[in-house]
Amino acid sequence: MGVKEKLWILTAQCPSRLGTVDAVTRSLVESENYIVALNSFDDKATGSFSIRVEFRPLGGETSLRQFREILEPRAAKFDMQWQLTEPEHQTRVAIMVSKYDHCLNDLLYRYRTGELAIDIPLIISNHPDLQSLADWHGIPYVHLPVTPETKPEQEAKVWELINEHQCELVVLARYMQVLSPEMAARLDGWAINIHHSLLPGFKGAKPYHQAWAKGVKLVGATAHYVNDNLDEGPIITQGVQAVDHSHYPEDLVAKGQDVESQTLAKAVRYHIEKRVFLHGNRTVVFPD
The set of catalytic residues is: 231
Q: By the 8 A CB rule, do 125 and 142 touch?
A: yes
Hey, which residues does 192 pair with through a beta bridge?
171, 225
Cα 273 to Cα 36, 83, 116, 150, 171: the distances in Å are 15, 12, 9, 36, 15
Residue 102 one-letter amino acid: H
The per-residue DSSP string of the chain comes to -PPPPP-EEEEEEEE--TTHHHHHHHHHHHTTEEEEEEEEEEETTTTEEEEEEEEEETTTHHHHHHHHHHHHHHHHHTT-EEEEE-TT--EEEEEEE-S--HHHHHHHHHHHTTSS-EEEEEEEESSSTTHHHHHHTT--EEE----TTTHHHHHHHHHHHHHHTT-SEEEESS--SPPPHHHHHHTTTTEEEEEEE-SS---SS-HHHHHHHTT-SEEEEEEEE--SSTTSSPEEEEEEEE--TT--HHHHHHHHHHHHHHHHHHHHHHHHTT-EEEETTEEEE---
